[in-house]
Amino acid sequence: MAIEVDVLKRVPVREQEPKVRATNFEEVCLGYNKEEAEAEATRCLNCNNPQCQKGCPVAIDIPAFIQEVKVGNIEGAYQIISKSSALPAVCGRVCPQESQCEGKCIRGFKGDPVSIGKLERYVADTARQMGIKPNGATEKRNHKVAVIGSGPSGLTAAGDLAKMGYDVTIFEALHEAGGVLVYGIPEFRLPKDAVVKKEIENVKSLGVKIETDVVIGRSVTIDSLMKDEGFDAVFIGSGAGLPRFMHIPGEQAMGVFSANEFLTRSNLMKAFREDSTTPIMHPKKAVIVGGGNVAMDAARTALRLGAEVHVVYRRSEEELPARKEEVEHAKQEGIIFDLLTNPVEILADENGWVKGCRCIRMELGEPDESGRRSPVEVAGSEFDIECDCVIMSLGTSPNPLISSTTEGLEINRRKCIVAEEGNGQTSKKGVFAGGDAVTGAATVILAMGAGRAAAQGIDEYLKSLD
């Protein structure tokens, strides 16, 4: 049955009902089917000078793949995307398209932009069901490259290098590959077995080896990988996984968690399942501190574990750093937003358990140099929110373990690795870096862009050795 298309409006995507999904961990967005995808694809103007492609950090040839979708050629569409992206099923789901490809779509000037993300996801999901794999290397190149970290930047760099013919090994500290894709982003946004594992298998199918349970800086150092294990180049994509706390009174009370801990327990260790051996607190009423995507993920996870959830954020709704779609989803599910509010103390009962969160009202002051209005406390406006759990989601910074154990690797004052923008070259010869380890916490797709640039940089460097 053909779908009638209003060129000004997106073909809507099917989603689980808010009331239903608030009680399960299954994916919220159900994605397009064939008819919907082909109908949406007809909205693409196939521009000569496609702005959307410029908005994509890995520069996918968007109009070209959409033309293939329009005529039902999934294999063709998939191979076009996979020339530029190693993780299309992931990016189609978690990219902030509104500020990237879709933000630049000509259709968006008058009406809705083309749903590029949902189309990319449709292609990747369908290709997976059809058993289509990315094309591998045509020639072998005689160099070994080590990739530190199996998150988005590492997987992208590894995939690109393998396609160039290099012998690539990824070293991952956790027991499962994927980085933030497996421990951070919840199942209801990004299914692990059905999507993440399969995308990682695709990277492996290019010949990439993955060694889990290796903590670089502890199990082995970068210097010894290069000196003793024969790696000619190294890419550091170790991310920014060190959680920040507020350093306010009561923060060590039982029931206070970093979002990283709460999400790792739930996502990586599957603690949301009844049969999991890893425990997780099932809060009755939880306060999530922060307003980013991680805060939304923690809030919606706590909700699904049975809690009434308050997101406490010190600025106003306009400044929420989380994606609009995530904030909307959270609201639909019943998350309460306490804006212009900041915790000053965590209150504990006589047994050391959280019993409340003392907050203060904020107002926005004058814009600072960056143009952002900074929040200022309103004197005497303290009030208590009764709760049994507080989850700190204040951002993360790079773990210093790698930089402190690698000789001659320069870092900046934020503990981020210093690397050249175009090619990821660090201060150490043969060592490249990219993703959150260089920029501090950012997005999946930016990390992938950095991984891709570094793969180019590594290729040039290795060619110079030959």
**422 forms part of the interface with another protein (CB under 8 A):** no
As to burial, measured by CB atoms within 10 angstroms (0-12 exposed, 13-18 middle, 19+ buried), residue 407 is exposed
Rounded Cα distance, 125 and 366, in Å: 47
**303, two tokens:** 């909700």
Interface with another protein, residue 223, by CB under 8 A: no
| Residue 52 within binding range of another protein, rule CB under 8 A | no
Q: Which of residues 230-249 bind another protein (CB under 8 A)?
A: 241-243, 245, 247
b/e string for 226-257 if b means 16 or more Cβ within 10 A? beeeebbbbbbbbbbbbbbebebebbebebbb
Among 5, 220, 336, 339, binds another protein (CB under 8 A): 220
Site membership for another protein, residue 277 (CB under 8 A): yes
DSSP code, position 350: T
Residue closer to another protein (CB basis): 254 or 364: 254
Q: Among 53, 97, 202, 258, indicate the residue that binds another protein (CB under 8 A).
A: 258
Is residue 364 within a helix (H) or strand (E), and if so which, with residue range? strand 354-367
Q: How many residues bind another protein (CB under 8 A)?
A: 37
Query: Rounded distance, CA 357 to CA 83, Å?
Result: 49
Q: Report d(CA 407, CA 411) in Å as an integer.
A: 11
Amino acid at 352: G
Q: Which range binds another protein by CB under 8 A, 104-112, 270-278, 317-325, 446-454?
A: 270-278
**Judged by CB under 8 A, does residue 395 bind another protein?**
no
Candidate residues 254, 339, 394, 442; the one interacting with another protein per rule CB under 8 A:
254
| DSSP at 113 | P
Q: Which is nearer to another protein, 64 or 254 (CB)?
A: 254
Is 278 a residue that touches another protein (CB under 8 A)?
yes
The residue (of 261 and 325) whose beta carbon lies closer to another protein is 261
Query: Using the rule CB under 8 A, is 276 a contact of another protein?
Result: yes
Q: Which two tokens stand for residue 152?
A: 């988005």
For tokens 């934020």, the residue is 414
Q: Interface with another protein includes 192 (CB under 8 A)?
A: no
Please, are residues 347 and 358 in contact by the beta-carbon 8 Å criterion? Answer: yes
Q: Would you tell me which residues interact with another protein (CB under 8 A)?
A: 173-175, 183, 212-215, 218-220, 241-243, 245, 247, 251-252, 254, 257-258, 260-261, 264-265, 269, 275-279, 281, 351-352, 396, 399, 401
